[in-house]
Structure 1
């Protein structure tokens, strides 16, 4: 489909993570069960990689961190559905010792262009005015072992680590989402779905409709998505995968809504005030009209 409505047989290239929430959300669309949805060609990549893909303009549609939006919204539009926001689902700072003072300590983070990192920096600005010591970037699956083994003093973790960190003998020093919710009253913005503006408004609206339909179909028949979810999360206990989906796929996945947009604007406005991201244009988050 093109901006003029003519048929275009080329599948749109989409990249999202193999995490259970993404495979659950996109299962129906990826397998051709969403009526009239634009065809897609799926690439799996962790979100630190998709953030870089977006900055290089490499894919038509991507799941990215909200934190990367200020760098990509000239070329991409934010879709009003399909992403990840929520309550009680924020990143955690983990340590081997409970109550560790982070001043002068080394903290591992999954990316400096991640929403988790922005939430961490905003938390630190409020509660650690003297700052932490060194911040190092590690793949998210290496962070808990690095904290456990003493290679770093603390780690910022995301995803299913909320459910498994005790297995590593670690302690939760602080919950970034809890701090965000307490200080703003807003849901926690995590991952966004973006699509190239050059596809045209008609295709962008078709993509948003397909994403929303795929979410609703997954809720209507959760069993249909299980093979796809399990195929890409084989290392996870199925119960943990279900917890992951239950936490990260919610009303904001179906539609950002007023609170969702307010959360995204709030995060990026606060981060810009701290010098962490460029300031957004006033209309940067607006979805193109037909």
Structure 2
């Protein structure tokens, strides 16, 4: 007997069912879950469409289609359905990112139409912790960034983004959207830094957060301060803030070739629990 499946864009009436899918893996799905819990499923507020894959009338998988294309709890059949929909709509995203297996299949189906990508990062370990490290003292100078320090923070954010992604976040719209995003993180108390002499020495942000999990991003140490262990003590401080006041579990994903970062994260208690994949355009 064949399973009856269908794929469609979700609307506000699908919110409870979508949240149930996201709650299956609150750590892996933190980015999409945070957006949905903040904005619902209205495309205008969400910043993109949420596609749903239904099996026998039950919502089983999701795919966020906004600035990023992100498969959620998607097995091979759902991924193929999402790829077909993405081919019909055309590429509107700047990246595809998500769990490695689903994203790899999705990209293999889209590459003949959307390719080539600017860069493919096929294995980015997902690292998770729920405890502040016992043997790494948090840097006492790392604190929440104040609203009047955004101009000090921005050059470090731009440097980190350019170093990590390979393009400047100021391209296109002059950086208006990127600056607005940084300002939002500062205003919600999710931007942390060590600032000395009017410049950033270390910084990191909690880029996505729900009541169950948060995702740390944008970890950066000024080049002349690298090799001194500031990423470890700085991350210990960020974890102290995040686990006490934002969510009980913190995660991040890191490029597999960045062995120094992976070692630093392991020293502050992060453990690799899975892998993401990113396709950058």
Structure 1 length-normalised TM: 0.26
Higher relative contact order (Cα pairs below 8 Å, separated by 6+ residues): 1
Structure 2 length-normalised TM: 0.27
Q: Which has the higher helix share?
A: 1
Q: Which has the higher strand share?
A: 2
